[in-house]
Copies of this chain bind each other. A is one copy, B any other.
Amino acid sequence: MTAAEARERAAAMLADGGIVLTSAEQEAIEVADFGLGDLERWGLQIVVYVNTERVCAKELVMFPGQACPEHRHPPVEGELGKEETFRVRRGLVRLHIGGDEIALRPGDQHTIPPDTLHWFQAGEDGAIVSEFSTRSRDDLDVFTDPRVVR
């Protein structure tokens, strides 16, 4: 699956899920493969609604079985790391955090404290997840797998 194919598939899933994007937003969907070159397994499709100094909001689209590798959001320049709340809109997401696995279905959400290792995987129908957080600085995320490039 190429990035362009992933983008198109994510746009279709969002439309199916009743989430309206402008055409500019559809074209700007970010496809993250985490440098692992295996989008079927490791990847996220991301719509960034807003990302200011203080607030960030995104939709994350995940294909069936697709996962985001384990990482944490460290403190930056004396500020706490990113705090994020995942709210599942469609599908199932298994969130792995602190040794626990939390199954999140539509209407379920979980807040991940700063600097806390976590990873998550979509169920067999894929998923749409709203993420509400402090400022997002993806390049500063710390991944457990040293092969990951963000």
Q: Which residues of A contact B (CB under 8 A)?
A: 17-22, 25, 49-50, 52, 54-57, 80, 83, 85, 87, 89, 106-109, 111, 130, 132-134
Contact (Cβ within 8 A) B22 A108: yes
Q: Can you tell how many copies of this chain the complex includes?
A: 2
Q: Enumerate chain B residues within 8 angstroms of A25, measured Cβ to Cβ.
A: 107
Given known contacts A55-B83, A57-B57, is B132 in contact with A20 (CB within 8 Å)? no
Q: Enumerate chain B residues within 8 angstroms of A80, measured Cβ to Cβ.
A: 54
Q: Enumerate chain B residues within 8 angstroms of A52, measured Cβ to Cβ.
A: 83, 111
Q: How far is the CA of A19 from the CA of B17 in the complex (A)?
A: 9
Q: Enumerate chain B residues within 8 angstroms of A19, measured Cβ to Cβ.
A: 89
Contact (Cβ within 8 A) A109 B54: no
